[in-house]
Amino acid sequence: MNDVSAAQPVYADAPRWPIRYLLFIGGMGGLLYGIDIGIIAGALPYLEATATASWHLTTQQLGFVVAAVLLGSVLSSLFAGMVADLIGRRGAMFLAGLLFTASIPVMALSDGYAALLMGRLLQGISGGLIGVVVPLYLAEVLSPERRGRGAAMFQLLLTVGLVLAAVIGLYHAHSVDAAAAAVRHLPGEEQQRLLFDVKDHAWRTIFWSCLLPGLVFTAGVLLISESPRWLVRRGRVDAARRALQRTVAAAEVEPTLQRMQAPEAVRSRGTGARDPLLSRRYVWPFVLACLVLAFTQATGINSVLAYAVNILNQAGLPGAVANWADVAIKLLNAVMTVVALVLVDRKGRKFLLMLGSGGITVALLAAALLFVQSERGRLDVQPLLQQQVAGSTLSLPLDAAQWQRLEGGAAAGPQQLTVSYAYGGFSNVRALRSDNPIDATLEIRRNDAVSDDSVIGAFFRRLHLNPFPDPAQAAQAPLVIERAMIGPVPSPTHGWLVASCILLFVAFFAVGPGVCVWLALSELMPTRIRSNGMSIALLINQFVSTVIAAIFLPTVGHHGYASMFFFWAGCTLLYFLIAAFWLPETKGKSLEQIEANFR
């Protein structure tokens, strides 16, 4: 306590504008990370409407496009710590900005699945670097009094990135709706052609709008100083002194520099040898950090944010209304992050994680029960559709009479049909609505589900270890309708109830895991393993997120939305138990004090 009180005047005398600029650039890293996650939500409906028709994109491939950012993050997270140690924290941040900026034209100008997937992977690789290096940089540069606030600033700008992505999607949703109203009087084919062009232009423009933030971050990184801790480890003491002069008061430069040099000079217990990496001092905080990051993604947050418009459409909110709700979700996320910014250094990390994970569990269970209610009355029409299969295709006109035949003639409102089908090991999902003029025919063809062989698939098949289906076998496989369910489209009231649950979910996430996850990532890791340990922990985090995003569309197509929400609720309950019984409180402690607790 005396040390903290004595440090307050020095803290007040620290240079203000260099620190504010440093926080701004760190926040811009969070902004790019948020754009990475959120931009696909607004583009997805138009990408699905155009690329599915022109590129024969399957549901699984569309899921890979969504998950590619997360997959790229997994790949880069594995090497982010190594890169940060090799070229410095500042150099790694600059590399991340370059990759993000380069990904934009690759995606916006793509003319096929491969190019689009490559652009999303590049964007994800930059996100993985940012997710490791920016919190690492902030933890090493900022004083203990500013560390919690710096991590909260990163998360705050991350949520602003999500809001920005949602607003961009909302703007283009209104543009598409206006274009649809303007061409309504035209003949059917001409109307569909013009709408196709408008939607194709919409998703490309959404990607182009991300270019400016990437340029600002990349250029801005050049004006910040390198981490003094990294410079000391490289023996560049004079450069570390100059870096400290930009972030701490003049009277504290030399004492701070001496404290940074001490861990390099003093070996464990004076023996001249370091503690083994498998000692409790390193393993237990590393395991805790990995668990916190894994269960943060197991709440389903990234999939909810990425598929928000699709989820709300399925729940009963039409068109642009779902986009408005998506914007509200992202805005609430930002507002509640400001609340977390105020609470994180007052209430502590452990309390906020318990509060957040407990509230998330309740919200997810409520949403799951709402979907159970809406999905309960659906009819199984799989035998009827299987009878309509001719060879390896299905072409079924869906006029009013056909909808009545499928649902038994008892329903009065609009109906929704979800069809899961397979050719050999390749499966796909189609969702159609009776009130959507575009869904005038249920058309199922082999090339909508069976993708070409890949280099990875061919390699594993030669080893007889391939977990992926074989296109050669699927080319001769018959069409099998695995599941076909029809039922009424949920009411807008039902849609708003689901939206309310998601709003509650996001509010509790922002207050708890949203901020505390970055603190856990940087605070729990001991100095010796911090950079590489953070890489592995974020790798696990992004791997969990990638798997959930990749299986989301096939799972909800085969088993309904309720199944995913129940799964997320169960994972979040485990998260609450970990925070309550295992996680130590790190509020008000220096990195060295936190590390000493695990000895």
What homologous superfamily is domain 10-224+281-373+494-596 in, according to CATH? MFS general substrate transporter like domains (1.20.1250.20)
| CB contact at 8 A, 100 and 212 | no
Backbone angles phi, psi at 426, to 5 degrees: -95, 130
Residue entry with tokens 């709706």:
177
The whole-angstrom separation of Cα 164 and Cα 304 is 17
Q: What is the pLDDT of residues 386-404, one digit of tens each?
A: 888 887 888 888 888 888 8
pLDDT higher than 70, residue 319: no
* Average per-residue pLDDT for the chain: 79
3-state DSSP of 411-465? CCCCEEEEEEEEECCEEEEEEEECCCCCCCEEEECHHHCCCCCCHHHHHHHHCCC
Look at residue 459 in the predicted model and tell me its pLDDT: 45
Look at residue 9 in the predicted model and tell me its pLDDT: 43
Look at residue 323 in the predicted model and tell me its pLDDT: 76
Backbone angles phi, psi at 408, to 5 degrees: 90, 5
| Rg, C-alpha atoms of the chain | 26
Look at residue 269 in the predicted model and tell me its pLDDT: 41
Q: What is the pLDDT of residues 193-205, one digit of tens each?
A: 788 888 888 889 8
361 falls in which pLDDT band (50, 70, 90)? very high
> Which of 43-52, 140-149, 206-215, 380-389 has the weakest average pLDDT?
140-149
Look at residue 30 in the predicted model and tell me its pLDDT: 86
Counting beta carbons within 10 angstroms of the beta carbon of residue 464, is it exposed (0 to 12), middle (13 to 18) or buried (19 or more)?
A: exposed
Q: What is the pLDDT of residues 522-565, one digit of tens each?
A: 777 766 677 777 778 877 877 787 788 777 877 887 788 899 99
Q: What is the mean pLDDT of residues 440-446?
A: 84
Backbone angles phi, psi at 301, to 5 degrees: -60, -45
> Alpha-carbon dihedral of residues 37, 43, 49, 51, nearest 10 degrees?
-70
| CB contact at 8 A, 143 and 14 | yes
3-state DSSP of 98-110? HHHHHHHHHHHCC
Q: Which residues pair with 483 in a beta bridge?
A: 420
Look at residue 369 in the predicted model and tell me its pLDDT: 94
Q: What is the mean pLDDT of residues 96-102?
A: 94
Parallel, antiparallel, or unpaired for β 441-444 and 379-380?
A: unpaired
Which tokens hold the place of 378? Answer: 């659906």
| CB contact at 8 A, 57 and 113 | yes
408-417 b/e with 16+ CB inside 10 Å = b?
Answer: eeebeeebbb
